[in-house]
Amino acid sequence: SYVLTQPPSVSVAPGQTARIACGGNNIETKSVHWFQQKAGQAPVLVVFDDTDRPSGIPERFSGSNSGNTATLIISRVEAGDEADYYCQVWDSSGDHPGIFGGGTKLTVL
Amino acid sequence: EVQLVESGGGLIQPGGSLRLSCAASGFSVSRYYMSWVRQAPGKGLEWVSVLYSVGGAYYADSVKGRFTISRDNSKNTLFLQLNRLTVDDTAVYYCAREGLGIRALDIWGQGTMVTVSS
């Protein structure tokens, strides 16, 4: 089945740019969605279809998808961005279509 | 307001059964793809099951044959029947909605905790 690989952790100073990678075989052919999960809370969709933002999500959140890597980009990082981030795709080739990456802990230094 | 509220979690012995509910408000579950996602303590998100608006359902290998997803349109509620539970099923269970026209889980409930222990 399809596998998504994320780094366990990423650290960044306030005001800098955080990049969180999500690796998958030929992932550029899939639509990648990103979720933010703060401690003790339910996940929140922050980027869908590789690059789009739901209403209410700051423009600081963006995404890209090329080759075997999709990337969540958080510009001008704030302390409130500290959270776990998960990438997700739907794999229509199998009969268990929902796939999540292992998650990345973003630490704001 | 568009909202999902899960219930039905609790402490259950291995081998037991439980039915989780997810009550929707502000939209009709019958018109949307609806998923269950779980998160074991200290672990990442794991997709469990999806029910399509036209009625088809899919399951993760880890729960196939033991869990059943369904909905009651009259109650606007999604369900997950959990049978033959094991300690590995201990997790917070979230229900989530896929947005119309986008295959992204745009609305999530707050989750309900299932603890399988003797």
pLDDT tens-digit readout, B46-104: 999 999 888 789 999 999 999 999 999 999 999 999 999 999 999 999 999 999 888 89
What is the pLDDT at residue B72? 96
- The predicted pLDDT at position A94 comes to 65
Residue A92 has a pLDDT of 77
Q: What distances in angstroms separate CA B58 from CA A56, A89, B61, one per listed residue? A: 31, 15, 9
**What distance in Å separates the CA atoms of residue A27 and residue B113, rounded to the nearest whole number?**
33
* Cβ–Cβ contact A101 with B under 8 A: yes
* Chain B nearest CA to A57, separation (Å): 12
Could you say which DSSP state residue A66 is in? E
* pLDDT of amino acid B55: 79
Q: Which residues neighbour B15 within 8 Å (Cβ) at sequence distance 6 or greater?
A: B84, B85
| Mean pLDDT (whole number) for A29-54 | 96
Q: Is A33 in Cβ contact with B105 (below 8 Å)? A: yes
Q: What confidence tens digit (pLDDT) does each residue in A49-97 have?
A: 999 999 999 999 999 999 999 999 999 999 999 999 999 999 877 666 8
pLDDT value of position A93: 74
Tell me the H-state helices in chain A: none
CA–CA separation, B104 and A88 (whole Å): 9
The whole-number average pLDDT for the span A26-33 is 95
Closest CA of chain A from B106, distance in Å: 6
What number of residues does chain B have? Answer: 118
Q: Which residues of B touch A (CB under 8 A)?
A: 35, 37, 44-48, 50, 58-61, 64, 94, 96, 99, 102-106, 108-111
pLDDT cut 70: percent of chain B above it: 100
Q: What is the mean pLDDT of residues A98-106?
A: 96
Q: Count CB neighbours of B15 within 10 A.
A: 11
Q: In Å, how far is B14's CA from the nearest CA of chain A?
A: 25
For position A17, what pLDDT does the model report? 98
CA–CA separation, B69 and B60 (whole Å): 12
pLDDT at A95: 66
pLDDT-derived band of residue A3, with 50, 70 and 90 as boundaries?
A: very high
Q: Residue A30: beta bridge partners?
A: none
